Amino acid sequence: MRNQLSISVTALAVLALAACGTESGAGSGDRGDGGGTVQPDVPVTGVHWSVDSVTVDGRRTEAPADAHVEITDKGRAQGNYGCNRFGADVKVEGDTITVGPGEMTEMACEEKIQGFEDTLRAAFSGKLKAKLDDGRLTLTTEKGDSIALTSEPSSPLVGTKWSVNSLVSGQTAASLPAGTENKAHLTFAKDGSVSGALGCNRFTSTAKISGDSITFGRLASTRKLCEGPVMDVERQLVKILDGTVKYELRHRALTLTAPDGEGLAAVASDTSREK
């Protein structure tokens, strides 16, 4: 997915620049070719584009929940492939986007996500055609492969239901074990409390937010007994939600990291996609 996002994102950045350039003229600012050109009245830059899927050789693959692209007004695309973050420059000519070489982090990722990154890197490079339609962006290669993206608003830390989708250890992120997905979540309230589910048991606690840190109070939970990986995940979450952790909020993605490097990654549940 590495190059894919660099491509899509980059492409997006360029699109925005092209759109802005035509906006100063008289009339609607349309290019007039009617061939899927990004219209100047549709915002592309400054928008969080969530990657929905990628289609290669007719096979559609859902993107990881964290995959997204954001485009600046300076010709830069940046985002997350689902595990690794990336950045790239792009060149736009009409509705054609040429993606240049980019850079990305090198975190160890789950095999499935790694495979998605590799597929995107191979499929999305060179010239891409872009089309915007009602908040949805499609980037298509000369071979007919494509990437589908949707614009999404950001989510605040407080008041959002954050669904845990992976556990982090140092520079390694691992998806939750099979059968434990969509079970753990947490919500921070305005009164300084936090509540949710650990996978098996529900919990409540206090959460003091200061700067880029959150200090959790003593956690209280129900005492149900569950078997298998659900309890393993729950034990790890209990350790993370204890004391002070660092948090990073990126649009609709939240990461909590304890002093020992252990942590969790979560996404806003109203836009979480089952992969």
Residue 128 carries which side chain, given as an amino acid letter? Answer: L
Indicate whether 85 pLDDT > 90.
Answer: no
Per DSSP (E only), the strands in 6-160 are: 48-56, 59-62, 68-71, 76-80, 85-93, 96-104, 126-133, 136-141, 146-152
Indicate whether 271 pLDDT > 60.
Answer: no
Q: What confidence score (pLDDT) does residue 92 get?
A: 66
C-alpha 223/C-alpha 225 separation (Å) is 6
Eight-class DSSP state of 158: B
Please give the average per-residue pLDDT across 159-169, as a whole number: 93
Q: Which residue has the tokens 């100047």?
A: 40
Question: Residue 233 has which token pair?
Answer: 């995940």
Say if residues 109 and 84 touch (Cβ distance below 8 Å). yes
Indicate whether 274 pLDDT > 70.
Answer: no
Enumerate domains of the chain plus CATH numbers: 2-152 (2.40.128.270), 161-271 (2.40.128.270)
Mean pLDDT comparison of 33-42, 69-78, 251-260, highest-scoring range: 251-260
Indicate whether 100 pLDDT > 50.
Answer: yes
Q: What confidence score (pLDDT) does residue 90 get?
A: 74
Top pLDDT among 133 and 36 is at 133
Taking all residues of the chain, what is their mean pLDDT, rounded to a whole number? Answer: 80
